[in-house]
Structure 1
Amino acid sequence: MTRDDLHHPPGADLKAAVRRKGSFWQTMKAVAWSFFGVRKSSEYDKDVSQLNPVHVIVAGIIGAVVFVVLLVLLVRWVISSGVAA
């Protein structure tokens, strides 16, 4: 155990991260950019320091659901239009 461990109880960093004030809209934008895999290093660093991890998880789940629904709708449209035949 180090000296710093005595001053920072387990989970203190997580509690501080959850109290971050990043907006949910800012989190949704960051998650949307992550789906494309395009992000500046400076923007990533800013996101890491500002975004609430709980918001990131919720936004990621919402983004994944929207992505899957859009894929299903696209496949249904292609099949029903006869383009796939």
Structure 2
Amino acid sequence: MEDWVQYLNYGAVVFAFLAAIFWFWSAKVPVHKFTGVPWGGNMDELEDAVKRQSVRSAWAAIFAGFAALCQGIALALPNF
């Protein structure tokens, strides 16, 4: 049982680290260059940038959810 708790804790660390990487990667999408007023640029470029940012943030949220799930199970497991 202690092995499972340790594996789940390691899993939580890995997933949390992946979430941090993906959120940082999401923040690095160059959306700020599209926010000038007036802006006469191509809306497709802005749409693509926002999509990339959203997809990366979604993956980060998934990894954060797995980290929380692993940690929750690791905390509950000794009580069973």
TM interval, shorter chain, is: 0.3 to 0.5
TM-score (norm 2): 0.42
Larger radius of gyration: 1
- Using the size of structure 1 for normalisation, the TM-score is 0.39
**Structure number with higher helix proportion:** 2
